[in-house]
Amino acid sequence: MRREYDIDLLIRKFKEKDKIALARLISIIENHPEKASDIFKNFNHIKHDSYIIGITGSPGVGKSTLTGAIAKRLLKEGKSIGVISVDPTSPFSGGAFLGDRVRMTEVSLDPNIFIRSLASRGYRGGISRAVLDITLLYEAFGMDFIIIETVGVGQSEFEIYNLAYTIIVVMVPGYGDAIQMQKAGIIEIGDIYDVNKKDLGGADIAAHIDMMLDDSTFQGGWRPPIVQTNSITGDGVDELIENIWDHKEHIELSDLLSEKKKIRFAYKIKELLYYKIDIVLESLINQDELNHITTKALENKFQIYDLVHDLFSDVKFERKSKS
């Protein structure tokens, strides 16, 4: 009863744009995903959409400083912003250098921005689920923009291209980053390429990406622009933001935006199905049994498939036919 009361109060505060209530609801959904449904049903009447920007790149390329620089510009234009950082080396999550963290703190004091970092390694599907839920909470809160910052090198559990509408791939000069990413096909996910730390050069890399893009075909006729920035001084950030507006307009006019939204929700639905199944699995098979077959697998590793098969053989799944 007490808990119910708390959530009702939080929802009321949340609707009054209370950032502490937002923070608490995020924590509740993260730690008690079973409560998400009860929380979200309070927002059924809200029709607000946020525009979701993804910023991805290797650790150390300056994604967080860039996020800070973009956020600063958007705040100046009167926009509200929700940031989600899923980079464990981000200054938002206590990583990186003191100077970065000071710059971030300066931005984060603005009442129109809220920053949440997910630094820890999640269990299976954990980070994805949390990120998706936080975007929904930001939308219910009425954020104009959501910026998701993520380490992206092709294998991350959380795949940003299922979630963001405009993706900025950030690189740095002199690291071979661009060429490495291009060869691996990772470069294909960018809607905008940013060569950051332009004080260290990077014109050659920008030219190289440009050449690579000559050989590509572009989704819906958008040729990704290449920008050079210095996220610390702010040099080039205006141009980057201009390019975000251009891309936003492009996907809105070409109806690609609704396609991207569809992908986002389909991904969320799949996550939720997996989550439900995880719960069922835990209730059906206990730790002792798992320990037992692990010991047996240690004795003869090649029978591992059969051991799991036997364990699973008396689990029955059924679906009542729809009435």
**Number of CB atoms found within 10 A of residue 147's CB:** 29
Cα 277 to chain centroid distance, Å, stands at: 23
What is the 8-class DSSP label of residue 286? -
- Measured from the CB atom, the residue of 142 and 176 that comes closer to its own copies is 176
Min. distance of Cβ 39 from its own copies in angstroms? 9
- Measured from the CB atom, the residue of 93 and 228 that comes closer to its own copies is 93
- Give kind and range of the element (H or E) at residue 113: strand 113-117
Min. distance of Cβ 61 from its own copies in angstroms? 10
Tokens of 296: 């047996």
Min. distance of Cβ 117 from its own copies in angstroms? 11
- Measured from the CB atom, the residue of 59 and 220 that comes closer to its own copies is 59
Min. distance of Cβ 79 from its own copies in angstroms? 21
CB 81 within 8 A of CB 110: no
- Measured from the CB atom, the residue of 53 and 172 that comes closer to its own copies is 172
DSSP string of 4-67, one letter each residue: HHHHHHHHHHHHTT-HHHHHHHHHHHHH-GGGHHHHHGGGTT----PEEEEEEESTTS-HHHHH
- Measured from the CB atom, the residue of 109 and 298 that comes closer to its own copies is 298
Q: Which of 276, 279, 287 is nearest to 311 (CA)?
A: 287
Min. distance of Cβ 180 from its own copies in angstroms? 4
